[in-house]
């Protein structure tokens, strides 16, 4: 069984309870990590608290140099880490390398630069306004992007001058161990970064409630986010939440319909649909609806489900049996409520592994369960609309507001509609994801922003010095 990383050393957990890490493609146990305890959290928070005064006073440029070295090492180990993610999380190897590993390396490098360049002082009349690191940060991360989501929290926190206690997902924790090894190798001072693996109700809750933690940054389900926020409220600590989504892809009548459907299907199915910002609702003008359904079905048929290490695989397994069963329940619920299954379904595509066929539903009406709730699997719903106002109404009519897309004949038209959407990020005619732009949600999709300068601000306090 692996160890925890606390105070600059690998150390045994106070708990003897192991968590088995399972390869979702083969259903075989591939590793074991400690199911950490509240005592482990206590030790990690103490180490982070002890390290904070010196780290917060370290010159920003010096902090940036260490992060730059870590980014370089991450790139050097990218092939190895991508294989780890393909094995414990199930992402196809090419995606695991390009998106799950190299993108976090780029984000880490961006914060190496921002550590020094981000402004920390300004004048307001007779006041000097300064920004200071908030303190000890508890970072609680999910399994679907097991390295990227860690870097999105740890990199800005360290760049700002905070110290960190990380709890990675117990489902796919191995990339977090690789990052801890990298931080150790570059010589990050003891206690600046700490890793405690374990289960959310034990380790995660102990971190969120701990009085020595100044901020909690959490990514996961909306239900779990509510629990984290409630625990953190007891000590009135800052909370950043990146939660669920049910993002809408609005295709307006003057858009390039084949392109919009093709890109929309790809976005919905990426990472086997296990993406909080996936465009899982395709909203199409009624006169074009049947054509859009046909195009979506044809596109779905091109997505090969299989071994993450097979170069022809586009969709790997879901991360666990629990997740696969959850998705199957939603597919059944969609049919029960009257939606029409036009691609995929509940048949198991392989004898072993937690696989689900890419699935497309037509005849989906606003208010259906599959139209309202986050499924977190390769399931696309197509919803017709009659006019532009109705399209916007349907898009906004969920409790979520994380991402979305608008396709139109002109950028001006698409932007005008996008401005009406109550969501944190909108792709315009297929505009690419930008890892330097702020990412986060409206409504029950979360509080706060990650990435770029906005992500850095989450970890800074503001102080006024009256001169």
Q: Domains of the chain, with CATH numbers? A: 4-243+445-466 (3.40.605.10), 248-428 (3.40.309.10)
Q: What is the DSSP string of 25-81?
A: TTTEEEEEEE---HHHHHHHHHHHHHHHHHHHHS-HHHHHHHHHHHHHHHHHTHHHH
For 322, residues 6+ apart whose C-beta sits below 8 A from its C-beta are none
The burial class, CB within 10 Å (0-12 / 13-18 / 19+), for 99 is buried
Report the pLDDT value the prediction gives residue 124, as an integer from 0 to 100.
Answer: 97
As given in the structure block, the two tokens for residue 7 are 């105070």
Identify the three-state secondary structure at position 84. Answer: helix
* 98 DSSP assignment: I
Beta strands 427-428 and 404-407, pairing class = parallel
Cβ-Cβ contacts under 8 Å for 429 (sequence gap 6 or more): 255, 406, 407, 408, 411, 414
Instruction: Pick the catalytic residue from 170, 242, 371, 458.
Output: 242
Continuous segment of H or E residues that includes residue 149: helix 148-160
Distance of CA 235 to the CA centre of its chain: 26
- Count CB atoms within 10 A of the CB of residue 415: 14
Are 348 and 285 contacting, i.e. CB atoms less than 8 angstroms apart? no
Q: What is the pLDDT of residue 359?
A: 98
Q: Which two tokens stand for residue 417?
A: 């509609």
Q: How far apart (Å, rounded) are the C-alpha atoms in residues 275 and 59?
A: 37
To the query of whether residue 242 is one of the catalytic residues in this protein, the response is yes
Per residue of the chain (467 residues), what is the pLDDT tens digit? Answer: 999 999 999 999 999 999 999 999 999 999 999 999 999 999 999 999 999 999 999 999 999 999 999 999 999 999 999 999 999 999 999 999 999 999 999 999 999 999 999 999 999 999 999 999 999 999 999 999 999 999 999 999 999 999 999 999 999 999 999 999 999 999 999 999 999 999 999 999 999 999 999 999 999 999 999 999 999 999 999 999 999 999 999 999 999 999 999 999 999 999 999 999 999 999 999 999 999 999 999 999 999 999 999 999 999 999 999 999 999 999 999 999 999 999 999 999 999 999 999 999 999 999 999 999 999 999 999 999 999 999 999 999 999 999 999 999 999 999 999 999 999 999 999 999 999 999 999 999 999 999 999 999 999 999 999 99
Which residues have C-beta within 8 Å of that of residue 38, sequence separation ≥ 6?
Answer: 202, 203, 206
d(CA 224, CA 207): 14
Parallel, antiparallel, or unpaired for β 446-447 and 238-242? antiparallel
Could you tell me which residues come within 8 angstroms of residue 98 by beta carbon, excluding any fewer than 6 positions away?
none
Predicted local distance difference test score (pLDDT) of residue 65: 98
pTM over 0.85: yes
> How many H helices and E strands in the chain?
16, 20
Helix (H) or strand (E) holding 125: none
Residue 9: strand pairing partners: 6
pLDDT of residue 316: 98
Tokens representing 40 are 């482990």
349 phi and psi angles, rounded to 5 deg: -75, -20
Spatial distance between the Cα atoms of 78 and 292, rounded to a whole number of angstroms: 38
With b meaning 16 or more CB within 10 Å and e meaning fewer, what string describes 157-176? bbbbbbbbbbbbbbbbbbbb
Can you give the pLDDT at residue 93? 98
C-alpha to C-alpha distances, 213 to 45, 197, 246, nearest whole angstrom: 7, 17, 31
CA gyration radius for the chain? 22
Give backbone dihedrals phi and psi of 239, rounded to 5 degrees, phi first. Answer: -130, 130
């Amino acid at each position: 069984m692996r160890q925890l990383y606390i105070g600059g050393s690998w150390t045994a957990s106070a708990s003897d309870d192991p968590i088995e890490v399972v390869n979702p493609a083969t259903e075989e146990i591939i590793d074991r990590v400690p199911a950490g305890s509240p005592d482990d959290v206590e030790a990690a928070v103490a180490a982070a608290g002890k390290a904070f005064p010196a780290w917060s006073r370290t010159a920003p440029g010096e902090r940036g140099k260490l992060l730059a070295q870590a980014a370089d090492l991450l790139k050097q180990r990218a092939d190895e880490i991508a294989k780890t993610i393909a094995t414990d999380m199930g992402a196809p190897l090419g995606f695991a390398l390009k998106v799950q590993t190299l993108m976090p390396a780029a984000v880490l490098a961006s914060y190496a630069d921002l550590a020094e360049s981000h402004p920390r002082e300004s004048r307001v009349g007779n006041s000097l306004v300064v920004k200071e690191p908030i303190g000890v940060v508890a970072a609680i991360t999910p399994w679907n992007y097991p390295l990227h989501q860690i870097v999105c929290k740890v990199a800005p926190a360290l760049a700002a001058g905070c110290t960190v206690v990380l709890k990675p997902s117990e489902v796919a924790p191995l990339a977090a161990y690789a990052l801890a090894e990298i931080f150790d190798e570059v010589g990050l001072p003891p206690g600046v970064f700490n890793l405690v693996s374990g289960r959310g109700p034990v380790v995660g809750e102990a971190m969120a409630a701990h009085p020595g933690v100044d901020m909690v940054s959490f990514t996961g389900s909306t239900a779990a986010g509510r629990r984290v926020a409630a625990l953190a409220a007891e000590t009135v600590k800052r909370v950043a939440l990146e939660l669920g989504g049910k993002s809408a892809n609005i295709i307006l009548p003057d858009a390039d319909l084949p392109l919009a459907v093709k890109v929309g299907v790809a976005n919905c199915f990426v990472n086997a649909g296990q993406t909080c910002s996936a465009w899982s609702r395709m909203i199409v003008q009624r006169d074009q609806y049947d054509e859009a359904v046909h195009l979506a079905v044809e596109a779905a048929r091109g997505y090969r489900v299989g071994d993450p290490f097979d170069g022809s695989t586009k969709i790997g397994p879901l991360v666990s049996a629990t997740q696969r069963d959850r998705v199957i329940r939603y597919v059944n619920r969609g049919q029960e409520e009257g939606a029409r299954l036009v691609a995929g379904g509940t048949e198991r595509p392989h004898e072993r592994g937690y696989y689900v066929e890419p699935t497309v539903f037509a005849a989906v009406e606003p208010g259906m369960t599959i139209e309202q709730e986050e499924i977190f699997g390769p399931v696309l719903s197509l919803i017709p609309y009659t006019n532009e106002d109705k399209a916007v109404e349907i898009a906004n009519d969920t409790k979520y507001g994380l991402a979305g897309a608008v396709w139109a004949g002109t950028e001006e038209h698409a932007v005008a509609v996008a401005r009406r959407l109550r969501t944190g990020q909108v792709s315009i005619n297929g505009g690419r994801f930008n890892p330097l732009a702020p990412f986060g949600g409206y409504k029950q999709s979360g509080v706060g922003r990650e990435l770029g300068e906005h992500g850095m601000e989450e970890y800074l306090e503001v102080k006024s010095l009256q001169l």
